Amino acid sequence: MRLRSFTAKSLPEAMRRVREVLGPDAIILSSQPAEDGRGVRVTAALEDSPLEPLIHDGATGGAVSLDEISEALTYHRVPPALFDRLIGAAAALTAKNDALALGGALDGEFIFAAPPEAPTPRPFLLVGPPGAGKTATAAKLCARVRLAGGRASLITMDTVKSGGLAQITAFAQALGAELLRAPDIDALADAVAACPEDHFVVVDTVGANPFDAEDLDRLSLAAGAAGADPVVVLPAGGDAADCAEAAAAFAEVGARSLIVTKIDAARRFGGLLSAAQAGRFALMAASASPNISDPLLPFNPVSLARLLLPAAADSIQRLPIREAG
């Protein structure tokens, strides 16, 4: 399949350019306003064999509708290049419904990794901006391991924030997890060394500005001292470009996985996709509540598709990702 996007001042002009470049057999997959609000952007495809056998026409239940997928991706403000790849991949798949078609496209574009249920070879070091929900996420990771029958140690470096120490102490007590304090790098190394080998170990760091070199250096030193794998914690709903730049910065300190928080307080998730793409992160889990009694929700391609697909023109009334196994 040849997939191209065309931006023009009007739809007729865009259609003319489609025909000039792809020929009269081109199929229009989607049309939407241009990013700058001036004109229109059309995505078209040309395939050696017809697309019709691959895509149902929407006349029967469970059919795939590229228009609906396109509207959803537009609603979530997915960046244009990623938008084109996802629409192209969804169009090329034989699928029973929109969720499976978009899920297949997401599976080809992103990495997915389940959150741990047992001790990991290296500690997890949670990194992210202030207020992202790292402390609650650390507790939920410990809870997941505890529910699976394992043991956990929770190390906090955030010993200064007002109420922060009391919160994490309460979390640790509720979970039956060991809590250690590490106000500096030397103390962090000692705390990790003190954790039993059969424990899952997670480190809750101080909020970091991804655009501040000193903050990033501090995280790099912490990861080295702890011998830990940094895991990024970002809230949902951010601007796609900002999320991408923040993710790229956190990737520089060694982060390879992403946990998304506050999906219950967001309506557009293009920033989530941008962050995962820019940082080349494995999508690990999402959180829809700050309460540690509400578990992390593992990502998989279909659950992510369901999160993206609910009515693009309206507020999302439910969280389909809860259906993930």
For residue range 131-149, what is the model confidence (pLDDT) as tens digits? 999 999 999 999 999 888 9
How are beta strands 111-112 and 282-286 bridged, if at all? parallel
- In which element (H, E) is residue 99 found? helix 98-109
Report DSSP state, residue 230: E
Q: Superfamily for 124-294?
A: P-loop containing nucleotide triphosphate hydrolases (3.40.50.300)
Residue boundaries of the structural domains of the chain: 2-110, 124-294
At residue 21, does pLDDT exceed 90?
no
Residue with tokens 């057999």: 25
The pTM (predicted TM-score) of the whole model is 0.78
pLDDT of residue 28: 66
Lowest pLDDT segment from 11-20, 159-168, 315-324: 315-324
Burial 145-160 (b: 16+ CB within 10 A, else e): bbeeebbbbbbbbbee
Higher pLDDT, 173 or 321: 173
Q: From CA 142, how far away is CA 261, in angstroms rounded?
A: 16
For residue range 240-295, what is the model confidence (pLDDT) as tens digits? 999 999 999 999 999 999 999 999 999 999 999 999 999 999 999 999 988 888 88
Q: Which whole number is the average pLDDT over 201-209?
A: 96
pLDDT of residue 31: 66
pLDDT of residue 29: 63
**189 pLDDT tier (thresholds 50, 70, 90):** very high
Angle at CA 198, nearest 5°, toward 197 and 201?
75
Backbone angles phi, psi at 2, to 5 degrees: -100, 120
Quick one: 68 exposed, middle or buried, by C-beta within 10 A (0-12, 13-18, 19+)? Answer: middle
For residue range 79-114, what is the model confidence (pLDDT) as tens digits? 999 999 999 899 888 888 898 899 999 999 999 999
**316 pLDDT tier (thresholds 50, 70, 90):** very low
In 74-198, where do the E strands start and end?
111-112, 124-127, 151-156, 178-181
Higher pLDDT, 21 or 288: 288
**51 pLDDT tier (thresholds 50, 70, 90):** very low
Q: Which of 293, 115, 129 is nearest to 205 (CA)?
A: 129
